[in-house]
């Protein structure tokens, strides 16, 4: 038996350390949230979260006493999620993007003029705004949602996002601008009619 494995086999079966169970309970929402916002898919996010905690379990000896375990979890979740998306994207990009080409072509285009009223967020400040935002974010295409999440939630700069995703800086800026515009439009519409967003 592997001595490095913290699993203790008993007559009743295998048990995980109580500390790890508590640790998982404390961080599972953060890990899942990071994954689901990057992936835009709850099932895949649960798979990634499972993989993250299994990695944490393998390194439990060092992680259990680490003060930066939250950062480690977030980094691993982000990396696994982006790797997952890029693997999937490489598999299908030829079919899905061969005739689109709009992203690269849009690199040199002028900044998008957003024509929504200045107070569009304030008007829907109450009630369901958070749920609408989450759902609108989830509905964005990967190339807009991922840089937005990395910028607004993970505090990465534009340069870091471009390097991490392997795309040009101008493409990152264009995609993020379009993503914000799409979010704002959805929110503006949602503010007028919840049902309209649902359809």
Partner 1 sequence: MEPLNPDKLEQRMHAALRALPDRRAPASLAARVQAEIERRAAIPWWHKSYAYWPQWARGTFLAGAGTFVMALLVFVTVSFAGGLDTSRPAGPLASWIEFARRAYGVGVWIGDLVSLIAGSVSPLWLYGGLAAVVAMYLSLFGLGATAYRFLWARR
Distance, CA of 188 to CA of 117 (rounded, Å): 9
Closest approach of Cβ 115 to partner 1, in Å? 5
Closest approach of Cβ 163 to partner 1, in Å? 20
Backbone angles phi, psi at 14, to 5 degrees: -90, 140
> What is the distance of C-alpha 145 from the center of its chain?
8
Distance, CA of 153 to CA of 116 (rounded, Å): 24
Report the interface residues with partner 1, using CB under 8 A.
Answer: 1-3, 5, 7, 9, 13-14, 16, 21, 24-25, 28-33, 36-37, 42, 46, 49-50, 53-54, 57, 92, 94-96, 98, 111-121, 129-130, 133-134, 137, 148, 152-153, 177, 180-181, 183-184, 187
Closest approach of Cβ 33 to partner 1, in Å? 4
Closest approach of Cβ 14 to partner 1, in Å? 4
Q: Which residue, 34 or 165, has its beta carbon nearer to partner 1?
A: 34
Distance, CA of 82 to CA of 156 (rounded, Å): 14
How buried is 159 (Cβ within 10 angstroms: 0-12 exposed, 13-18 middle, 19+ buried)?
Answer: exposed
Q: Which residue, 62 or 95, has its beta carbon nearer to partner 1?
A: 95
């Amino acid at each position: 038996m592997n001595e490095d494995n913290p699993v203790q086999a008993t007559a009743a079966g295998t048990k995980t350390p109580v500390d790890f169970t508590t640790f998982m309970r404390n961080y599972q929402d953060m890990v899942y949230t990071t994954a689901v916002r990057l992936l835009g898919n709850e099932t895949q996010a649960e798979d990634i979260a499972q993989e993250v905690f299994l990695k944490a379990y393998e390194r439990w000896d060092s992680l259990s006493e680490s003060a930066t375990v939250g950062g480690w979890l977030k980094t691993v979740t982000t990396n696994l999620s982006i790797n997952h998306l890029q693997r999937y994207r490489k598999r299908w990009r030829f079919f899905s993007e061969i005739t689109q080409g709009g992203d690269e072509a849009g690199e040199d285009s002028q900044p998008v003029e957003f024509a929504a009223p200045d107070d569009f967020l304030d008007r829907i400040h109450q009630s369901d705004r958070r749920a609408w935002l989450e759902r609108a974010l989830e509905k964005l295409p990967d190339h807009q949602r991922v840089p937005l999440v990395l910028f607004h939630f993970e505090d990465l700069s534009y340069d870091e996002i471009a390097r991490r995703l392997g795309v040009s800086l101008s493409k990152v800026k264009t995609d993020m601008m379009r993503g914000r515009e799409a979010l704002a439009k959805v929110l503006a519409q949602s503010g007028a009619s919840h049902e309209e967003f649902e359809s």
